[in-house]
Amino acid sequence: MNTTTATPNAPQAAPVDTPALWQSFPAPALSGVDTTQLMWSETVPGGSHWSWRMPRGSALRFVALEAGANVSLVLYSAQEKLERYNMPDSLKAQHTAHYTRGHVLMSDMGRSMASFTADSLGWHDPLGALLDNELMQQKYGEKRYAAHRNAMHRSGKDGLLIEIGKYGLGKRDLIAPVNLFSKVGVDTQGRFAFVPEHAKAGDFVELRFDMDVIAAISTAPHGLDTASHYAPKKVGLLAWRCGAAPADDVCRAFRPENARALHNTDMLYL
């Protein structure tokens, strides 16, 4: 009989069939990553989509493998899917119109779902919404899978609906995303102004998950992208175990509202 017991807090090995794709990412984009705690890594083609159930105390680093990348991200509580990322509350509480290191993504229950713990860019767009089918066809024309296979045109909206559908969520559950790697300013007329190729190859941003979440992404172009042809960019992903936010966490100290949101999340896990 096997009487071996697990050592408390011992590092957990990644799945044996997980390829080490992270080793091909640009070296600066791996700065600060604890490679002894790796969970998995992935390369997501442009115009694709995917989703994961990320546990509390895990981190996910997004790496732009090509200039002009965009990742549209939505978050839902894995424990109660009616709780999800709330864009207006997150921006209002933090007195901001963009995200960077120190910010948190708050739920509609006032809890921190995820925190920005590292960022080489300094600006990620929360306001530009999603590329939908109608806008995609107006801007780029139509390419269907039956004829064009993996070169088809797929909108960010369709990609995210496919992913959240895997968890029993539908159209009424699709929320405003965070558009990582994209920057949207305001022009002199007060209109949104997209900044082309804001992200360069090798830029990265990191999220620590403060609760158990369902995270879904699309790598379709930003809805306000000014490019005249459909050319979404490839993105690398690296997940590892980082632990929950410590007492001296940079996001706790960023604003009192952030500390309160993190405290509210901590109370779920007492």
Separation between Cα atoms, residue 119 and residue 57, nearest integer Å: 18
Q: Are residues 90 and 126 in contact, defined by beta-carbon separation less than 8 angstroms?
A: yes
Instruction: Tell me whether residue 14 is in a domain.
Output: no
pLDDT-derived band of residue 11, with 50, 70 and 90 as boundaries?
low
Per the structure, the complete domain to which residue 196 belongs is given by 43-269
pLDDT-derived band of residue 177, with 50, 70 and 90 as boundaries?
very high
Domain count, the chain: 1
45-85 pLDDT, tens digit per residue, is: 999 999 999 999 999 999 999 999 999 999 999 999 999 99
Instruction: Tell me whether residue 119 is in a domain.
Output: yes
Residue 67: φ, ψ to 5°: -65, 145
75-91 pLDDT, tens digit per residue, is: 999 999 999 999 999 99
Instruction: Tell me whether residue 169 is in a domain.
Output: yes
Instruction: Tell me whether residue 8 is in a domain.
Output: no
pLDDT-derived band of residue 190, with 50, 70 and 90 as boundaries?
confident
Looking at residue 73, its pLDDT comes to 98
DSSP assignment string, 142-204: ---HHHHGGG----HHHHHHHHHHTTT--GGG--PPEEET--EEE-TTS-EEE-TT-SPTT-E
Residue 9: φ, ψ to 5°: 65, 15
- Across the chain, what does the average pLDDT equal? 93
Instruction: Tell me whether residue 196 is in a domain.
Output: yes
Instruction: Tell me whether residue 21 is in a domain.
Output: no
Total-model pTM: 0.92
**Is the pLDDT assigned to residue 4 strictly greater than 60?**
no
Q: Are residues 81 and 169 in contact, defined by beta-carbon separation less than 8 angstroms?
A: yes
**Is the pLDDT assigned to residue 247 strictly greater than 50?**
yes
Q: Which of 42-56, 111-125, 136-150, 166-180 shows the lowest per-residue confidence on average (mean pLDDT)?
A: 136-150
Q: Are residues 101 and 118 in contact, defined by beta-carbon separation less than 8 angstroms?
A: yes
Instruction: Tell me whether residue 65 is in a domain.
Output: yes
Kindly state the percentage of the chain with pLDDT values over 90: 84
**Is the pLDDT assigned to residue 149 strictly greater than 80?**
no
Of the two residues 8 and 230, the one the predictor is more confident about is 230
Kindly state the percentage of the chain with pLDDT values over 70: 94
